[in-house]
Amino acid sequence: MAIVANPEPAELRRLPSLVFVQSLWAGVERLVSELEDQPFAIVRMTDPQLAETMAEAVLTFVLYLHRDGPAYRAQQIRHVWSERPYRPARERRIGVLGLGNLGALAATRLVANGFPVEGWSRTPKAVAGVSCHSGEDGLDRVLSRSDIVVVLLPLTSGTRALLDARRLARLPSGAALINFARGPIVDTEALVAALDDGHLGHAVLDVFAREPLPADDPLWDHPGVTILPHVSAPTTPETATRLVAENLHRFFATGMIPEAVDRDRGY
């Protein structure tokens, strides 16, 4: 077996006896796409601490947007002292795209903090306190109702450029977007256009098609964008290594391979 974080997939081709690859990341789209002809299993990181860390980040930046953090930052730059109207959490609807381990817990934390939450997934899911939807019609329904939409989907052939110009236009005027999943899920050109024309109010971006984000990328200086350096849910070494050790111990003792990625789905 191989324990990896973000390897060059070609390096794994040099290990002909591989039975399974244990990733330290939740996202494994590059391994899946570039090693589709390889017989070994690919195992994602499913550490419960990862979900806790992501839920914390989602709540943090939903509150940042909810309490007008970008607007107050802009006022500070202009030396403006002005109070903005307060809006209760119960009046701010949050859409969560992706209801797997990460999305379900994040949605639950938002509900616990008083936000009405609409969730969307590829297949039907049930999350306590969350209005859940699936399918194409369900996605349009969630987008059209969301004041803030949080992207927590895996990157697959079906989610690449999922949020294009047409779907971004479904969001209410002034809505905000948080992408804590993968950069290519959001059409960056369409996102910038929606920010520039005022349809969207702000975007918090933690992930990009190219990372690190090049220093000359115009997103750095866009007034409607908050940039994070892929930090929403870092792997926690103490808990992740314990989980990996358990997987290895079980494999050596019984030959059991941990639950692997479905290569057809991509996650």
pLDDT tens string for the chain (267 positions)? 999 998 999 999 999 999 999 999 988 999 999 999 999 999 999 999 999 999 999 999 999 999 999 999 999 999 999 999 999 999 999 999 999 999 999 999 999 999 999 999 999 999 999 999 999 999 999 999 999 999 999 999 999 999 999 999 999 999 999 999 999 999 999 999 999 999 999 999 999 999 999 999 999 999 999 999 999 999 999 999 999 999 999 999 999 999 999 988 888
Are 198 and 172 spatial neighbours (Cβ–Cβ below 8 Å)?
no
Beta bridge partners of 225: 203
- Residue 194, both tokens: 């929606």
203, 207, 212, 213: CA torsion to nearest 10: -30
Instruction: Name the pTM for this structure.
Output: 0.94
- Determine if the peptide bond prior to 237 is cis (ω within 30°): no
- Residue 47, both tokens: 């550490």
| Burial (CB count within 10 angstroms: exposed 0-12, middle 13-18, buried 19+), residue 237 | exposed
Are 68 and 174 spatial neighbours (Cβ–Cβ below 8 Å)?
no
What single DSSP character describes residue 121? E
Output 31-35 pairs: Cβ under 8 A, ≥24 positions apart: 31/4, 31/7, 32/261, 32/263, 32/266, 32/267, 33/266, 34/9, 34/10, 35/9
Measured CA to CA, the distance from residue 197 to residue 201 in angstroms comes to 10
What single DSSP character describes residue 163? B
Q: Residues with catalytic annotation?
A: 182, 230
